[in-house]
Structure 1
Amino acid sequence: MMYTAMKFRQLATVVATTLLLITSANAQVVTPSTLTVNDNKVQAKLSLTSLIEVDLTVEFENSLGLNSNAIDITAELINPTDTGITDRLPSLLTSAVSGFPVLVSIAPKPDAGFAFEGVAQVEIYTKAIHYTPSVPWRLFTSHNNGEFEDITTLTSSGSYRARGSTGQFSDFIILLDTRAPSAIISDKFLLVSETLNGNRGLISAPLEAVLDSGISDLNAALASNDYDAALTIVDGLIVVLGNASGSEIADVWRSSNDLVNAKGMLISRLQTLRYSLRII
């Protein structure tokens, strides 16, 4: 969705004001004021200022050793011009959100014995900003201080809610993403392909053949801008991977960070690609 010149001027004014507030205040890192763990779900509330609070929900398909002492959760106000953030952005057309310059970190303790299978759902909710369908705020993640990638699977009102999925953990942030929708789709497809190619040794030959065929068909559909066909193919790949067992594809991530959750990574990247195909 393209912005008008007026919207850009308004955005620039708000960004400048936010930068002034952040640079004039001491950065702070906060831990949850409340934290609950129920079965495969973690819920935390983090308060950074009287105006900026975060409700975080993380839900697992199946977890082991999940308890309040297994995971460190923090949130901090960031300076959007800090190179520790800007150097990790995927594009000059992405930036921190004015009014909600917050980085949430989820760090399972290496010696806690925590592990999960498949995909983890991550949701961030805040009243600090308000959902507007035409404003492309998206949920991004970064692993081990790497480049942020869009993992959005849902955005909605009340006041702003963003959901995504992941096969691993580190930092999460809401970013303004003004890239062209077609460019976002291309980038997400590339990540899916790279994930498959980088983890072939963790996938059985029969499943690998099915995935290769699906990725080939998806590439052809995207090349011809047939987004309806691409969406159908992505849905099918998600079902195939969802039904695959641990003997067919590596599907466990654990806090010692010594296993690659290929299933979770592939599904999460396909799910966010599906989101982008649905809204284009």
Structure 2
Amino acid sequence: MMFTAMKFRQLTTVVATTVLLLFSTAQAQVVTPATLTVDDNKIQAKLTLTSLIEVDLTVEFENSIGLNANTIDITAELLDPADLTITDRLPSALTSAVTGFPVLVSISPKTDAGFGFEGLATVELYTKAIHYTPTIPWRLFTSHDGGQFEDITTLTSSGSFRARGSTGQFSDFIILLDNRPSTAVINDKVASINTTVNGNRDKIAPLLEAAIDSGLNDIQSALAINDDDAALTAVDSLITLIDNASGSQIADVWRSSGDVVNVKGLLLTQLQTLRFSLRTL
């Protein structure tokens, strides 16, 4: 019996070591798309990290300039969920990488390729590695230039798991488990909107700026008295206001050279994900 137990322990150690080595090898690997198609204002890519982990990426633009397969780099990599380069960028200790899908997708337009777009870009990740469960708060996050990850979710759905969001710029995208209280998520999103407005007032026409400030006041006043329906109505009104604004009223272009700020795209991204959070209360 002692001999059998010893053999079992040795076998367990070998298996554990093998799994660790396999994960370490996979983790270090950065993959490029197995397939990539660019059609008008749409990018579709399939990235295979292991036999069990694949991700389909779709990016759609309202209006792009210079978009082709040679102007943008797309990669994916497996992460160690405890890696400090990831955990230090999380918005809270209550957010973490998804065990069954610790994947970071990076979209990096080449700075000298002349690529750009107006307004919003919609980003969708789809994988069969995990399965949608309405009660599990998996969300789509993005991080720009190694900064803090920010929730941009506008939809999560089945088949097997699909997450969609929007962005006014590019960098890293990841699915995270977000166990923060809903009120904390909503307050963070409102604070992000205020930060974007305050940091870009010189890129917004005065009349539109005043209307945005008024809309934000309506949102915050409704949240202060826990009137979620009124807050949602105010968010919808502000989305319509900014969506209908022209480039002469608000900066609305992103360029791969990084020399301009797509304020319209950033604000619509933040407002749309705030709407998602309010609708899922």
TM over 0.5: yes
Task: Describe the shift of the 1:196–1:26 C-alpha distance in structure 2 as closer, same or farther (beyond 3 A).
Answer: closer
Describe the SS at the equivalent of 1:46. strand
Describe the SS at the equivalent of 1:194. helix
Aligned counterpart, 2:163: 162
For residues 91-240 of structure 1, the aligned pairs below 5 Å read 91-240=92-241
Describe the SS at the equivalent of 1:209. helix
Aligned counterpart, 1:4: none
Task: Describe the shift of the 1:108–1:278 C-alpha distance in structure 2 as closer, same or farther (beyond 3 A).
Answer: same
Deviation (angstroms), 1:27: 1.8
Could you say what the CA RMSD is over the residues aligned between the two structures, in angstroms? 1.4
Does the 8 A contact of 2:34 with 2:48 survive in 1?
Answer: yes
Q: Tell me which amino acid in the other structure corresponds to 2:82.
A: T
Of residues 151-160 and 222-231 in structure 1, the stretch that sits farther from structure 2 once superposed is: 222-231
Identity rate of aligned residues, in percent? 71
Unmatched tracts of structure 2, length 5 or more? 1-15
The C-alpha deviation readout for 1:157-182, integer Å capped at 9, x for no partner, is 00000000000000000000000011
Pair member with larger Rg: 2
Does the 8 A contact of 1:139 with 1:172 survive in 2?
Answer: yes
Q: Tell me which amino acid in the other structure corresponds to 2:216.
A: I
The C-alpha deviation readout for 1:191-233, integer Å capped at 9, x for no partner, is 0111111110000001001001000111101111111000000
Does the 8 A contact of 1:111 with 1:255 survive in 2?
Answer: yes
Does the 8 A contact of 2:90 with 2:149 survive in 1?
Answer: yes
Describe the SS at the equivalent of 1:88. coil
CA distance in 2 between counterparts of 1:28 and 1:74 reads: 10
CA distance in 1 between counterparts of 2:48 and 2:26 reads: 16
Describe the SS at the equivalent of 2:207. helix
2:63 equivalent to 1:42: no
Deviation (angstroms), 1:99: 0.6
Does the 8 A contact of 2:215 with 2:234 survive in 1?
Answer: yes
CA distance in 1 between counterparts of 2:268 and 2:102 reads: 28
Q: Which runs of 4+ in 1 moved over 3 A?
A: 23-26
Describe the SS at the equivalent of 1:244. coil
Does the 8 A contact of 2:27 with 2:78 survive in 1?
Answer: no
Does the 8 A contact of 1:120 with 1:166 survive in 2?
Answer: yes
2:31 equivalent to 1:30: yes
Does the 8 A contact of 1:22 with 1:78 survive in 2?
Answer: no
Unmatched tracts of structure 1, length 5 or more? 1-15
Deviation (angstroms), 1:22: 2.8
CA distance in 2 between counterparts of 1:178 and 1:106 reads: 26
Q: Tell me which amino acid in the other structure corresponds to 1:74.
A: T
Aligned counterpart, 2:245: 244
For residues 6-17 of structure 1, the aligned pairs below 5 Å read none
Describe the SS at the equivalent of 1:80. coil
CA distance in 2 between counterparts of 1:22 and 1:82 reads: 13
Aligned residues: 264
Does the 8 A contact of 2:124 with 2:163 survive in 1?
Answer: yes
